[in-house]
Amino acid sequence: MQVIASGTAAAAVANTVGQLVNDKVASRIAAKDFTLWGKEAEAESSIRLGWVDSAVVADDLVESILQLKKEFNAKGVNRFVLCGMGGSSLAPEVITRTANVELVVLDSTHPDQIGAALAGDLNKTAVIVSSKSGSTVETDSQKRIFEKAFTDAGIDKVDRIVVVTDPGSPMEAAAKADGYRIFNADPTVGGRYSALTAFGLVPSGLAGADIKSLISDAQAAAKILAVDTEQNPGLILGAALARTSGEMGYRDKIGIVADGTEIVGFGDWAEQLIAESTGKQGKGVLPLVLTPESAELSSGLADLVAVYVQQDAKVPALDAVAVSGSLGAQFLLWEYATVVASRLIGINPFDQPDVESAKIAARGMLESRDEQVAALFSDNGVEVRATALSLDGVSSVSAAVAAFLSTLDDDEGYVSIHAYLDRTSVPEAAELRDAIANRTRRPVTFGWGPRFLHSTGQYHKGGPKQGVYLQLLSSAKQDIAVPGRDFTFGELIASQAAGDAKVLGSHSLPVLTLTLADAKAAIDMLKSVI
């Protein structure tokens, strides 16, 4: 585990890390000192530091998971589906992709993605339903559809569904009543810090990842990260993320670049950790998931620093950071670094005050779904809507995109693409990120909706007001009703997109919404337009 910084990032580290050592920040984090982030944060931070020793106490949990895996495999059950959102799905996805084992991650309410998950062989399928609060509408809806699917197939749902939730949650109460297997997570660990808890370990272990080694690596890292020394990688990375000093001043965007590492998809997990932890009170660090070829790295952006996740950290080019370590070690390293950066920036890393606003707006849109906002116009099978964005006189998708991008600030702005699409059938939608970055030469983020609402959505509303937002929606091949509810998955995802657009618009942030009749054809058209 190593962190090396250069340029202004190194200057920020040099000017900051000594004070962090003097303040005993590392050892105080390890001791769960909740006073580190200021008086106003104490109520929340006092109940959110369980992640610090989650690896240390995980041994018994690991054995229980592996025993359950044996029981499932003995019955011929070897296909595992994870129903979860945000932190509940992103860590297991990284763990299993890195381990090269199959886990079907259902982190969407798009009917086509729901249908694809249901289409697998149910006779060989077990489902892990993960929700910290136990009241997440997406996860509850996913649980309901699998309960119906198992019952319709003549399979005992109690034998095939495993619930991961906090003790005392509504989902735990319902699961106990139904007789489901329950893994309780530590209630003092927030969702985005839960990689090394039951939320990360249960689905990963059942799918076949080596969770024993993952935990062992994290336990070794915990000892290093707890020491107050200027060589502590958590302090170095935290100071580099915050970048609160140096001649260049405050840089508020980082590009996470997978560069020759065996860890697959790590940027998506780190993105949700950093964005949701730091994006509030008009402050924050905006993470971008990049590749070595991304336009942002060659555009000379004064507000962005690249962080290269490597197999072996090498001294990076000017104004960059290199990070190396095993996956278990990196989970803990970045959690330490994020809370260190939050202390330097002056924010509480454990609350998410703006996430709930989108949920409330989505519920409101769902209740009034018959009053859908009419499209401004349609062009080539694309319906165009706008929020806090003037499209007067515009009548084509090309012109709408141009008007939207013209609102982007050339010095501080960023574009955020929110794809409320089935990512299993149109993964090429993610290519729009590079297309817009190449055109604008500004930072561009990409998130699958509604997954991002539980993570980076906090930054969009609570962080610096610099973003412009492109929403992509698509019609489903066949809508699916949510059992026991008065809405369909199609209506739910449309309401979530509309609710988020409404909240962003209330912050005077421009939103362009494009509803695609044929997602594949429209994505090709948009790439051409951009």
Walk me through the domains of the chain, giving residue ranges and CATH numbers.
Answer: 2-39+228-345 (3.40.50.10490), 55-211 (3.40.50.10490), 355-529 (3.40.50.10490)
Q: What type of residue is 231?
A: Q
- Burial of residue 426 (number of CB atoms within 10 Å: 0-12, 13-18, 19+): buried
What single string gives the DSSP state of each residue in 327-391? Answer: HHHHHHHHHHHHHHHHHHHT--TT--TTHHHHHHHHHHHHHTGGGPPPPSEEETTEEEEEES---
Q: Is 474 helix (H, G, I), strand (E, B) or coil?
A: strand
Count how many residues are written for the chain. 530
Closest C-alpha among 102, 156, 167, 81 to residue 131: 167
pLDDT tens, residue order, the chain (530 aa):
999 999 888 988 999 999 999 999 999 999 999 999 999 999 999 999 999 999 999 999 999 999 999 999 999 999 999 999 988 899 999 999 999 999 999 999 999 999 999 999 999 999 999 998 878 889 999 999 999 999 999 999 999 999 999 999 999 999 999 999 999 999 999 999 999 999 999 999 999 999 999 999 999 999 999 999 999 999 999 999 998 543 444 578 999 998 878 899 999 999 999 999 999 999 999 999 999 999 999 988 989 999 999 988 887 877 899 999 999 999 999 999 999 999 999 999 999 887 777 677 777 777 776 567 789 999 999 999 999 999 999 999 999 999 999 999 999 999 999 999 999 999 999 999 999 999 999 999 999 999 888 888 899 999 999 999 999 999 888 999 999 999 999 999 999 999 999 999 999 999 999 999 999 999 999 999 99
Closest C-alpha among 125, 123, 83 to residue 107: 83
> How far is the C-alpha of 424 from the C-alpha of 405, rounded, in Å?
28
Name the residue with tokens 């585990």. 1
DSSP state of 291: -
Q: What share of the chain is helix, strand, coil (3-state, %, to 5)?
A: 50, 15, 35
Dihedral in degrees, nearest 10, Cα atoms 161, 482, 116, 124: 20
The two structure tokens encoding residue 517: 């009749």
> How far is the C-alpha of 218 from the C-alpha of 203, rounded, in Å?
18
DSSP H or E segment with residue 89: helix 87-99
Residues in CB range of 387: below 8 A, 6 or more apart: 501, 502, 504, 505, 510, 511, 513
Instruction: Please report the pLDDT score of residue 244 as a whole number.
Output: 55
- Peptide linkage before 450 cis (omega within 30 of 0): yes
DSSP state of 186: P
The two structure tokens encoding residue 431: 């290519």
> How far is the C-alpha of 239 from the C-alpha of 18, rounded, in Å?
10
Closest C-alpha among 404, 412, 350 to residue 512: 404
pLDDT in tens, 8-22: 889 889 999 999 999
pTM attached to this predicted model: 0.95
> How far is the C-alpha of 146 from the C-alpha of 159, rounded, in Å?
12
Under 8 Å between Cβ of 503 and 459: no
**What are the CA-CA distances from residue 493 to residues 112, 216, 263, 353, 510 (Å)?**
11, 39, 31, 22, 20
| 513 bridge partner residues | 385, 471
Give the pairing type, strands 161-165 and 377-379.
unpaired
Q: Is 130 helix (H, G, I), strand (E, B) or coil?
A: strand
pLDDT in tens, 364-417: 777 776 567 789 999 999 999 999 999 999 999 999 999 999 999 999 999 999
